[in-house]
């Protein structure tokens, strides 16, 4: 287990109360808390750098460019990519939309198929629905097994000559299952399809190597990995990025334009980074990556798995709790208090100082499969402790229809 002393790095974990209780933050799949070094990196930009990126010819501006491009290098190293394959966006949603817009709308044609599944996050499926509406392509959904996973044999059966794009999450944000992405990429490539991996729930939690995985695109957000909000990453194989269109045009991304309407864009990644970016967030992301690297991605993954197994063993002994994913591969537990609507249960957890998520978690197609209209989701990160899990289990044990509804009357 990671030593709990790292909690001192997080201001939110030092004395923050919720409803009079010590905060137990278990909503890490939504966003993570920030260590002081990330907060400092953001304020350092505003306090000591201040200038825009990629625009000025003075010393400060050069320092900003160095910090900004230094972050690109850190991201590239984190996932074993080349720097020119890293596009900064505002988050995973923006990256996924950029693929559907810049690649999908340009290259997919009527009748072409995009493979998705019922468990996908809205940000990984709605952009493709829009692409279908405009280009006449269609989404086909890979059937999930009873547990909610994609089986490789099923995936093989879904591949056919019309499949041009496979758009799947590496780790699902509701069930926490890790999909065998390297195998999926290899099979998809055999029929010439492109693979876009939504890695919003994997890059923050495990070691990712895009070369080993051999995905074509990979998207993730800074704020789910201790970084600031407002920055995300699109990794793309360089030849694909070069072929793609940006969805925004303007300052910073063009090399030349004239009054006849000729526009010459810069090469990737710059052609996608129009306008002033979230400079402080990009710089803060670098600090977050350094921090995670210091802890070690393998240690982070291992810690979350241990917390998960510890929590599941205890939860399965509670008769009032239904767990939907006892065999998740990471730190996500989706459950309900029996006979209580998820949002009402969440209010009870809130009253006890526990922050977790209730609802459909942006994966609205999945609920039918789970046989419920809403669930609770507890999601862990490396700063959570066994003591916090004990407190969580204690509150689960107390939760029932009376005390959940008593909060409202």
Ligand X SMILES: Cc1ncc(COP(=O)(O)O)c(C=O)c1O
Give the residue numbers marked as catalytic.
Answer: 362
Q: Does 185 bind ligand X (CB under 6 A)?
A: no
Choices 76-84, 193-201, 239-247, 348-356 (CB under 6 A): range interacting with ligand X: 193-201
Query: Quick one: DSSP state of residue 272?
Result: G
Q: How far is the CB of 99 from ligand X (least distance, A)?
A: 12
Could you check whether the bond before residue 48 is cis, i.e. omega within 30 degrees of 0? Answer: no
Does the protein bind ligand X through residue 253 (CB under 6 A)?
Answer: no
Residues binding ligand X: number (CB under 6 A): 14
Task: Give dist(CA 163, CA 191) in Å, integer.
Answer: 8
Among 28, 93, 116, 360, binds ligand X (CB under 6 A): 93
379 near ligand X (CB under 6 A): no
For residue 206, the SS3 value is: coil
Q: Which stretch binds ligand X (CB under 6 A): 120-128, 131-139, 189-197, 234-242?
A: 120-128
**Which of 220, 277, 285, 214 has the alpha carbon at shortest distance from 248?**
277
The reply to whether 121 sits near ligand X by the rule CB under 6 A is: yes
Instruction: Work out which of 33, 41, 54, 91 binds ligand X, going by CB under 6 A.
Output: 91
Question: Alpha-carbon distance 303 to 3, whole Å?
Answer: 10
DSSP letter at 384 equals -
Please, is 401 exposed, middle or buried when counting C-beta atoms within 10 Å of its C-beta (0-12, 13-18, 19+)? middle
**Among 65-73, 154-162, 198-206, 317-325, the segment contacting ligand X (CB under 6 A):** 198-206
We find the least distance from the C-beta atom of residue 19 to ligand X, in angstroms, to be: 25
Query: Considering beta carbons, is residue 217 or 348 the nearer one to ligand X?
Result: 217
Instruction: Write each residue from 28 to 67 as x if it is in contact with ligand X (CB under 6 A), else as -, in one continuous string.
Output: -x--------------------------------------
Of the candidate residues 32, 179, 196, 221, the single one contacting ligand X (CB under 6 A): 221
Q: Which two tokens stand for residue 253?
A: 């991304």
Contact 285, 71 (CB under 8 A): yes
Q: How far apart are the first and last CA of the chain?
A: 42
Q: Candidates 132, 200, 346, 358: give the one binding ligand X (CB under 6 A).
A: 200
Which lies closer to ligand X via its Cβ, residue 200 or residue 366?
A: 200
- Single out the residue of 377, 370, 391 nearest to residue 337, CA to CA: 377
CB 215 within 8 A of CB 181: yes
Select from 9, 112, 124, 280 the one that contacts ligand X (CB under 6 A): 124
Check binding of 198 to ligand X (CB under 6 A). Answer: yes
Nearest Cα neighbor of 119 from 157, 158, 176 is: 176
With both helix axes pointing from N to C terminus, report the angle between 92-99 and 122-135 in degrees, rounded to the nearest 10: 20
Shortest reach from residue 91's CB to ligand X, in Å: 3
Q: What span, in angstroms and rounded, lies between the C-alpha atoms of 171 and 209?
A: 15
CB of 92 to ligand X, least distance (A): 4
Which span sits near ligand X by CB under 6 A: 119-127, 129-137, 259-267, 278-286?
119-127
We find the least distance from the C-beta atom of residue 333 to ligand X, in angstroms, to be: 15
Reference 207, options 339, 94, 77, 36; nearest CA is: 77
Residue closer to ligand X, measured from CB, 173 or 375:
173
């Amino acid at each position: 287990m990671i030593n709990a002393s790292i909690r001192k790095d997080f201001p939110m974990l030092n004395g923050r109360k919720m409803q009079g209780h010590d905060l137990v933050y278990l909503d890490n799949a939504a966003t993570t808390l920030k260590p002081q070094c990330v907060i400092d990196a953001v304020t350092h930009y505003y306090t000591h750098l201040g200038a825009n990126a990629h625009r000025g010819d003075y010393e400060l501006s050069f320092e900003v460019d160095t910090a900004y491009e230094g972050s690109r290098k850190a991201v590239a190293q984190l996932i074993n990519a080349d720097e020119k394959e890293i596009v900064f966006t505002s988050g995973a949603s923006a990256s996924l939309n950029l693929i559907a817009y810049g690649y999908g709308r340009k290259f997919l044609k009527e009748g072409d198929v995009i493979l998705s599944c019922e468990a996908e996050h809205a940000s990984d499926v709605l952009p493709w629905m829009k692409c279908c509406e405009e280009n006449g392509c269609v989404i086909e959904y890979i059937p999930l097994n009873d547990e909610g996973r994609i089986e490789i044999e099923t995936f093989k059966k879904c591949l056919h000559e019309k499949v041009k794009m496979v758009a799947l999450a590496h780790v699902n944000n509701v069930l926490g299952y890790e999909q065998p992405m390297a195998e999926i990429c290899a099979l998809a490539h055999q029929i010439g399809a492109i693979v876009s991996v939504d890695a919003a729930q994997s890059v923050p939690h495990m070691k990712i190597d895009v070369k080993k995985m051999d995905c074509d695109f990979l998207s993730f957000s800074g704020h789910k990995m201790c970084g600031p909000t407002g920055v995300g990453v699109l990794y793309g194989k360089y030849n694909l990025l070069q072929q793609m269109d940006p969805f925004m045009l303007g300052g910073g991304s063009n090399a030349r334009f004239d009054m006849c309407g000729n526009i010459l864009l810069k090469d990737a990644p710059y052609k996608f980074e129009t306008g002033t970016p979230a400079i402080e967030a990009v710089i803060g992301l670098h600090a977050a990556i350094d921090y995670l690297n210091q802890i070690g991605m393998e240690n982070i993954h291992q810690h979350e798995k241990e917390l998960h197994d510890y929590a599941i063993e205890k939860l399965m002994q509670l008769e009032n709790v239904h767990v939907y994913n006892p065999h998740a591969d990471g730190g996500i537990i989706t459950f309900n208090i029996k006979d209580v609507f998820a949002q009402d249960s969440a209010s009870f957890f809130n009253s006890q100082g526990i922050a977790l998520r209730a609802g459909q978690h942006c994966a609205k197609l999945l609920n039918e499969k789970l046989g419920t209209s809403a669930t609770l989701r507890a999601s862990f990160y490396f700063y959570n402790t066994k003591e916090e899990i004990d407190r969580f289990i204690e509150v689960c044990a107390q939760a029932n229809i009376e005390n959940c509804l008593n909060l409202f009357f």
